[in-house]
Amino acid sequence: MAHVISLWDIPSLPVKDSTALYPVRRIFCVGRNYVEHQKEMGGDGRETPFFFLKSAHSLVPGGGTLHYPPKTANFHYETEMVVAIGKGGRRIHATKANEHVFGYGVGLDMTRRDLQQLGKDHGRPWDFGKDFDEAAPCSALVPAAKLGHPARGAIWLKVNGKERQKADLSDMIWSVPEQIAYLSAHYTLEPGDLIYSGTPAGVGPVKPGDDLHAGIDGVGELKVKIVPAL
């Protein structure tokens, strides 16, 4: 089949101990899914979580350099466990959700916080705050067949060697199986869909020259360096 413009490569993630890649279709992200982060963003600790999306185009596979994005003066990190769907479905029950997971990784939900706030203030979408070039760094995936389904374990971030985020996966308000159940009631989930499962408290700004080192014990690590804008 010919195309009238050149085809691009499907955004893909490396898989630990494999030469084969995981192709990415969509990126779902849950908001305010750790109690202390929910409070730091102005919540009362009981709000129902909600989702937004990033395009697969924003993926930065394996980390590396991130260009400081345009039109922001408040560029934030959010460290998150990434869930990679391996088997699609709709109306998936939480008790069956783990059967739909291919594996897990460590991601950063990079955010233009000032543009996100502008959207909130005017009741507008969050896309410009959340979905932009290089907004979704993610580590190699670890298959659930090797790892199991992590429900606890430290999730952390160091910026220039100083700890900025530290929590436990068990601090999530909505567990990963509950997130899959909720999402699959609204969408037909497909293989290649990623879910960024929320960030703990401690989010903050970074600038060119900063080194970010994120990790989830038992899952993996992700390193990113912020470099000047393109």
Task: Return d(Cα 80, Cα 200) in angstroms, integer.
Answer: 8
Q: How far is the CB of 79 from Mn ion (least distance, A)?
A: 9
User: Chain-centre distance of CA 54, in angstroms?
Assistant: 9
Q: How far is the CB of 37 from Mn ion (least distance, A)?
A: 8
Tokens linked to 69: 């994005």
Position 2: which residue type?
A
Q: How far is the CB of 1 from Mn ion (least distance, A)?
A: 37
Per CB under 5 A, residues contacting Mn ion are: 78, 109, 199
Nearer to Mn ion, 99 or 178 (CB): 178
Return phi, psi of residue 144, to 5°: -60, -25
Nearer to Mn ion, 15 or 31 (CB): 31
Residue nearest to Mn ion (CB): 109
Nearer to Mn ion, 109 or 193 (CB): 109
Nearer to Mn ion, 78 or 97 (CB): 78
Position 229: which residue type?
A
Q: How far is the CB of 8 from Mn ion (least distance, A)?
A: 26
Q: How far is the CB of 191 from Mn ion (least distance, A)?
A: 23
Nearer to Mn ion, 118 or 201 (CB): 201
Q: How far is the CB of 29 from Mn ion (least distance, A)?
A: 5
Q: How far is the CB of 38 from Mn ion (least distance, A)?
A: 11
Nearer to Mn ion, 22 or 77 (CB): 77
Task: Return d(Cα 149, Cα 81) in angstroms, integer.
Answer: 11
23 strand-pairing partners: 12
Nearer to Mn ion, 109 or 134 (CB): 109
